[in-house]
Structure formats: structure tokens, C-alpha cells
Amino acid sequence: MSSLIDFLKGSYNEFRHKVEWPKWADLQSSTIVVTIATVILALFTFGVDELFSKAISNIIGILINLFN
């Protein structure tokens, strides 16, 4: 049990005194970059999904008309 307490004390000490936490401005700029990248990736995924959806619909339509 004492090893768990020692681990928790050591972890707290490490986080409190030895970790260099990012500044608020750095967090804001990183958040903006991640948000923009996420929107771009979402739009790209939406575009590819729509393109494939229309292509598959057209191919299925051609095959249905071919065999009717």
C-alpha cells in the first residue's frame, strides 16, 4: 500500500514541479489549427463520399438498364 502512496506522491510532484505546461496562447493557436484541419478533412471526406455515392448509383443504374 505504501508503494501506491509513494507512486501517487511522486506523480503529483512530477506533474506539479517538473512538467512544463503550455501557455494559454499556445493552446488557443493549437486549437485553431486542429479545428481548421478537422473541417478540411470533414469536407474532403464528404466530397469523396458524395462522389463515390453518385458513381455507384450511376453504375447500378447502367447495369439495371442493361439487363432490362
Domain parsing of the chain, residue ranges? 24-68
Q: What is the mean pLDDT of residues 48-54?
A: 98
Mean pLDDT of the chain: 95
Diameter of the chain measured on Cα atoms: 79
End-to-end CA gap in the chain? 77
The pLDDT tens digits of the residues spanning 14-34 come to 999 999 999 999 999 999 999
Task: Return the residue matching grid coordinates 512530477.
Answer: 14
Report residue 68's pLDDT band, with 50, 70 and 90 as the boundaries.
confident
pLDDT greater than 90 at residue 40:
yes
